[in-house]
Structure formats: structure tokens, C-alpha cells
């Protein structure tokens, strides 16, 4: 199981053990069949994609928002911590019960409540799988753009809580850009409804935006109102090879500077390419040092014109091969390979530190050059891929478990990678969140006053610190 190599804060100072009386109260609230303390279930809800493990004391499977509200009221009265969990696919430990307590699984709150075709709105419960929603709205000619790599199993609630993105963010934005409103259960047991189903709304503070990306530390999301858009009439996919990653980075900058906005613009460096080349069905020669995977969508005419323009820009910036996918089947195969990258990287080592920094798009070539310097300095393999079109690069430091010398060098490399992002006026996290994985580095980007204000907001929502304690803020 993969693991990250960061120190983890354990906020256990105010948490209490869930005794038999509390378990009995929970059974009375949601039914004995919807609460478990079985060791097997606790283990299944103790880890996520980081590989870190923290065992909860119980797992609840509520079926209604009122169940969650009643659980929150009990948690406030008794003082035990509560952590909401979707599919557990996060990369920073956002859904880990670091203080024990109760995990609330959203797997049974998984209904698409409404698809309003006329107003282009969907209303869903948090346990709805992202890919399933995309397929459902596509059936009526609509489009939900956010597409995290784990879309076949990650949930909308987790996407909203962590502020997820995906390859299509370059043109369409990220999850927060599609959340019109939501319902959330507070620690008091009250359920608030934020936002509106209308196209505009500026009444009071924007609590919807505040809750999106709050990592379950302010409230537990029970319903989400999502904006949909019309499905594009046509799509096309370009597969472009380069002799080295710096040329690929320069091509990215050239494309975006030219004002052509592709739906996706993904970069894969040579280390990553080594791990997935067998599944690409392409005769990749040894001199290929990077590829770009580019989707274009819109009208049939614009797809043809933009594909031609992007192909020319790539050729001017060192592309050695530009190929257009023949049909949707070939395009799908290319994207299946792209989405398989994260697990495939374990061919390079048994341990992975996965960071998702973002820099201004014009700085992509400089970033890639600096990453090569960090790799050589610390004698570590750094595999880079990701959403180059919006400057969001996934930097993966690969090593082997038990190699303490490499782990020490990797810790220093992570700090340097984050500092590079800050130096370029970027950010240390574009879509993964902070959780526990990036806690120690929060102060690199945020001032003491900014963190103080955020802590104050947390205290207003959750004065007893029962909601996902030990996350975001260093303990």
C-alpha cells in the first residue's frame, strides 16, 4: 500500500473513547444494522490513497440527512470526533480518523435526486459516484465537466469537500465552479441550506464557497445542487510526442498564450511514460522524452480548426510526432492510460510522495527545469505529469520503503518543490487539499494572520472541534 512521507499530527487532546453507551445511542438513532464496530469494517475505513492508517472506533452508514443531524447532535453532547468519508480516494488523508471516533460513510446516501434539464441543474446526495452522474446527465444531452482521475469510484461529496479538479479544469474549471448550493449538517444537529438554484445570488456571505474545500471540518454535506452545461457537439484528441519534457513545457505555454483553449492539456514526462508505454498501443521510440495528451471540444468546425492550430504550435516547439485519434474508441484508450498513471508509478519504487503543485502556466517550462535540478540534487526519481494547461503538475517522488536515507532526502526535496511553487507565485495544492499530508507546510503559503482567521471560522462552526479534528491546521 502506498504511503506518504510527511509527519502527521494527531489531535487527540479533546477526543474521548466511544463507550458502549455511545454505541447504544447510535444504534437507537440509525438502527443496529447501520452501525458497526466489527474489526474488518474498521480496517476498511482506516486508510485512503496515502496508505496511512488510523483505526476508527465505529463506522455508521446513515440513510438520511436526519440520521446525520442526529449523530452530530449526539457527538456534540458526548464529545466524540466525527469524520465523513466518501470513497476514501484522497491523497492527503482528509478522510482519515486520526483521533479515532466515528466514521460516517456516505455510501448509502447515493441518489441522484433530480436532473432539471430546463434549468441545467442536478441535485444529488454526497455518495453519488462522479462518473455515474456524468453518464446520467449525458443521457439527456447535458455535461458535468469536473473529472478527477478517480471518477469511476470517487464521490461527489468527497469532490466537494476536498475541492477536486481534473484534466478538464483548463477549460471548464473545478468542482467549486459547479456547486450552486448545498445542505450541510452542523455539529449542533442543525442542517443549513446554502446558495441558490438560480444563476446568480449575492445575499450575505458565500457559505457555499466556504464549505466547498473545507475538508469536512465545518459541516457534513448531505445534499448538493450542481450546475450543468450543454454537452459539446464534437470532440477530438491529439497525442503529441517530444524529445524532452522542456520542449513539451514550452509547447504548453505557446498553446495557452495563443488563445486556443483545449478542454484538456495533459503532460507526461519520460519517467511516467516508462510506466505506461505498454498500455498506450503506440510504437514509442527510445528518444521520446515526454508526451502531451490534448482534448479539443466544441463545434465540429472549431474542433478541426483548433486541432490544426495546436498541432502547428506543438511542431514549432519541438514536437517529433503529432497524431489525431481516429475515433472515440482510440481516444478512450488514451485516456484510460492517463487515468492509470498513479498506480503504474509503483514500477519506479515501492513508496510514492504525490504532490499537486500549481504555477502560472507561463512558468511550466521553468518549473520542469527546476524539478530536474531537485531530482539530481537529492538523487531521487521525480516523475511528473498532470494538468499542464492550468499549471497543475503532479510531482511524484519515488523511493523504496525502508530506505531511510532516501526518505530523509525526499523530505528535503518536498520542501524544495513547495518552495519552487511559492517562488513562482503558485500554490502547494491545486486539488488534493491539505488534510494531514500537507499540514506541516501550511505556513509556507499562508500568513499567521490568515491561518488565525481560518481557525476562527472553524471555531464558529465547530467550537468543540469534533468535526474531522487534526486536519488542515498543524496541531
Ordered per-residue pLDDT tens for the chain, 475 residues: 333 334 444 554 445 679 999 999 999 999 999 999 999 999 999 999 988 999 999 999 999 999 999 999 999 999 999 999 999 999 999 999 999 999 999 999 999 999 999 999 999 999 999 999 999 999 999 999 999 999 999 999 999 999 999 999 999 999 999 999 999 999 999 999 999 999 899 999 999 999 999 999 999 999 999 999 999 999 999 999 999 999 999 999 999 999 999 999 999 999 999 999 888 877 788 889 999 999 999 999 999 999 999 999 999 999 999 999 999 999 999 999 998 998 899 999 999 999 999 999 999 999 999 999 999 999 999 999 999 999 999 999 999 999 999 999 999 999 999 999 999 999 999 999 999 999 999 999 999 999 999 999 999 999 999 999 999 998 7
Three-state DSSP string of 134-195: HHHHHCCCEECCCCCCCCCCCEHHHHHHHCCCCCCHHHHCCHHHHEEEEEEECCCCCEEEEE
Question: What pLDDT does 447 receive?
Answer: 97
**Percent of the chain topping pLDDT 90:** 91
**How far is the C-alpha of 253 from the C-alpha of 56, rounded, in Å?**
46
Instruction: For 331-345, give one letter per residue: b (16+ CB within 10 A) or e.
Output: beebbebbbebbebb
Q: Is the CATH code 3.90.1150.10 the one for domain 112-230? A: no
pLDDT in the model for residue 5: 38
DSSP calls for 7-76:
------SS-----HHHHHHHHHHH-GGGEE--HHHHHHTSB-TT--B---SEEE--SSHHHHHHHHHHHH
**pLDDT by residue (tens digit) across 254-299?**
999 999 999 999 999 999 999 998 888 777 888 899 999 999 999 9
Integer Cα distance of 452 and 437 in angstroms: 20
9 touches 98 (CB < 8 A): yes
Decide: residue 409, CB within 10 A, 0-12 exposed, 13-18 middle, 19+ buried: middle
Q: What pTM, to 2 d.p., does this model score?
A: 0.93
Are 107 and 126 in contact by the 8 Å Cβ rule? The answer is no
What does residue 412 show for φ and ψ, rounded to 5 degrees?
-70, -40
Q: What is the pLDDT of residue 281?
A: 72
Helix (H, G, I), strand (E, B) or coil at 226: strand
Q: What is the pLDDT of residue 3?
A: 37
Query: Cell numbers of 322, please?
Result: 503529432
Q: List, in sequence order, every residue forming a beta bridge with 153; answer none if it has no partner.
A: none
Question: Domain 343-423 classified CATH 3.30.70.2740?
Answer: yes
Q: Give pLDDT, residue 16.
A: 60
Q: Look up the CATH number of domain 234-336.
A: 3.30.70.3450
| Torsion of Cα atoms, 99 then 184 then 156 then 121, to 10° | -170
Other Cβ atoms less than 10 A from the Cβ of 441: the count is: 21
Q: Where do the CATH 3.30.70.3450 domains begin and end in the chain?
A: 234-336
Q: What is the pLDDT of residue 118?
A: 97
Place of cell 477536486: 164
DSSP E strand boundaries for 409-450: none
Give me the residues paired with residue 214 across strands: none
Distance, CA of 294 to CA of 264 (rounded, Å): 5
Amino acid at each position: 500500500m502506498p504511503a506518504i512521507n510527511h509527519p502527521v499530527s494527531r489531535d487527540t487532546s479533546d477526543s474521548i473513547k466511544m463507550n458502549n453507551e455511545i454505541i447504544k445511542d447510535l444504534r437507537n438513532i440509525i438502527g443496529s444494522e447501520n452501525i458497526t464496530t466489527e474489526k474488518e469494517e474498521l480496517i476498511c475505513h482506516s486508510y485512503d490513497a496515502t496508505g496511512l492508517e488510523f483505526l476508527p472506533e465505529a463506522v455508521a452508514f446513515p440513510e438520511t440527512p436526519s440520521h446525520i443531524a442526529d449523530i452530530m447532535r449526539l457527538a456534540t453532547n458526548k464529545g466524540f470526533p466525527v469524520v465523513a468519508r466518501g470513497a476514501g480516494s484522497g491523497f492527503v488523508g482528509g478522510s482519515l480518523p486520526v483521533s479515532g471516533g466515528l466514521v460516517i460513510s456516505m455510501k448509502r446516501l447515493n441518489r441522484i435526486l433530480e436532473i432539471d434539464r430546463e434549468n441545467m441543474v442536478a441535485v444529488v446526495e454526497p455518495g453519488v459516484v462522479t462518473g455515474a452522474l456524468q453518464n446520467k446527465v449525458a443521457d439527456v444531452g447535458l455535461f458535468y465537466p469536473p473529472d478527477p482521475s478517480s471518477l469511476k469510484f470517487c464521490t461527489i461529496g468527497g469532490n466537494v469537500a476536498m475541492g477536486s479538479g481534473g484534466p478538464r479544469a483548463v477549460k471548464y474549471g473545478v468542482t467549486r465552479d459547479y456547486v450552486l448550493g448545498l445542505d450541510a449538517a452542523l455539529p449542533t444537529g442543525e442542517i443549513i441550506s446554502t446558495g441558490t438554484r438560480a444563476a446568480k445570488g449575492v445575499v450575505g456571505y458565500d457559505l457555499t464557497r466556504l464549505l466547498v474545500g473545507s475538508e469536512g471540518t465545518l459541516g457534513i454535506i448531505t445534499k448538493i445542487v450542481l450546475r450543468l452545461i450543454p454537452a459539446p457537439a464534437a470532440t477530438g484528441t491529439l497525442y503529441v510526442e517530444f524529445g524532452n519534457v522542456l520542449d513539451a513545457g514550452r509547447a504548453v505555454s505557446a498553446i495557452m498564450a495563443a488563445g486556443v483553449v483545449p478542454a484538456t492539456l495533459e503532460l507526461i514526462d519520460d519517467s511516467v511514460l516508462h510506466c505506461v508505454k505498454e498500455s498506450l498501443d503506440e510504437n514509442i521510440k527510445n528518444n521520446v522524452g515526454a508526451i502531451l495528451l490534448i482534448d479539443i471540444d466544441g463545434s465540429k468546425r472549431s474542433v478541426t480548426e483548433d486541432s490544426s492550430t495546436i498541432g502547428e504550435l506543438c511542431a514549432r516547439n519541438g514536437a517529433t510526432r503529432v497524431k489525431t485519434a481516429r475515433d472515440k474508441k482510440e481516444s478512450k484508450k488514451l485516456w484510460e492510460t492517463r487515468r492509470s498513471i498513479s498506480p503504474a508509478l509503483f514500477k519506479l519504487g515501492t513508496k510514492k510522495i504525490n504532490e499537486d503543485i500549481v504555477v502560472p502556466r507561463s512558468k511550466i517550462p521553468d518549473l520542469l527545469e527546476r524539478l530536474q535540478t531537485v531530482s539530481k540534487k537529492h538523487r531521487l526519481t521525480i516523475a511528473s505529469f498532470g494538468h499542464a494547461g492550468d499549471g497543475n503538475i503532479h510531482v511524484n517522488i519515488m523511493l523504496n520503503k525502508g530506505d531511510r536515507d532516501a526518505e530523509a532526502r525526499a523530505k528535503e526535496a518536498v520542501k524544495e518543490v513547495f518552495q519552487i511553487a511559492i517562488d513562482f507565485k503558485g500554490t502547494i495544492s491545486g486539488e488534493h487539499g491539505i488534510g494531514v499530508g500537507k499540514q506541516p507546510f501550511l505556513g509556507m503559503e499562508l500568513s499567521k494572520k490568515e491561518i488565525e482567521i481560518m481557525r476562527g471560522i472553524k471555531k464558529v462552526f465547530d467550537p468543540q472541534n469534533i468535526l474531522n479534528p487534526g486536519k488542515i491546521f498543524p496541531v
